[in-house]
Amino acid sequence: MPLSIHSLGKEPQASQLPHLSKCLLLLVERILNHLCIIKEHTLLRLITEGFPACWDPQVSIKDLHFDGVPVRIYLPRKPSASKQRGVVFIHGGCGIFGSIRTYERVCRYIARKSDSVVVSVGYRLAPEHKYPTQTLECLTATEHFLKTAETYGVDPARVIVCGDSVGGTFTTSVCQELGQRIDIPKIRAQVLIYPFLQALNFNLPSHQKNAAVAFLTRERTVHFILKYLDKDCSLKEPILAGSHVPENINLKYRKWINPDLIPDVFKMGYKPPLPALFSPQTHKEVPELFEPWVSPLLAEDAVICGLPDTCIVTCEHDVLRDDGLLYKKRLEDNNTRVTWHHVEKGFHCSLGFFGYGIFSFPSSSTIMNHVVDFIKGY
Distance CA 112, CA 378 (A): 15
Beta sheet of 69-76, edge-to-edge order: 59-66, 69-76, 116-121, 84-90, 154-164, 189-193, 309-317, 338-347
Distance CA 265, CA 195 (A): 20
Residue 293 DSSP code: T
Quick one: which of 47, 42, 348 has its CA closest to 221?
348
Select which of 99, 116, 243, 318 is catalytic: 318
Note if 318 is an active site residue.
yes
Select which of 348, 360, 364, 370 is catalytic: 348
Measured in whole angstroms, the distance separating CA 333 from the mean position of its chain's CA atoms is 22
Strands 59-66 and 69-76: antiparallel
Select which of 114, 165, 173, 243 is catalytic: 165
What are the E-state strand segments in the chain?
A: 59-66, 69-76, 84-90, 116-121, 154-164, 189-193, 309-317, 338-347
Query: Which residues have a Cβ under 8 Å from the Cβ of 54 and sit 6 or more positions away?
Result: none
Note if 114 is an active site residue.
no
- How many C-beta atoms surround the C-beta of residue 277 within 10 A? 9
User: What is the C-alpha R_g of the chain?
Assistant: 20
Catalytic sites, residue numbers: 165, 318, 348
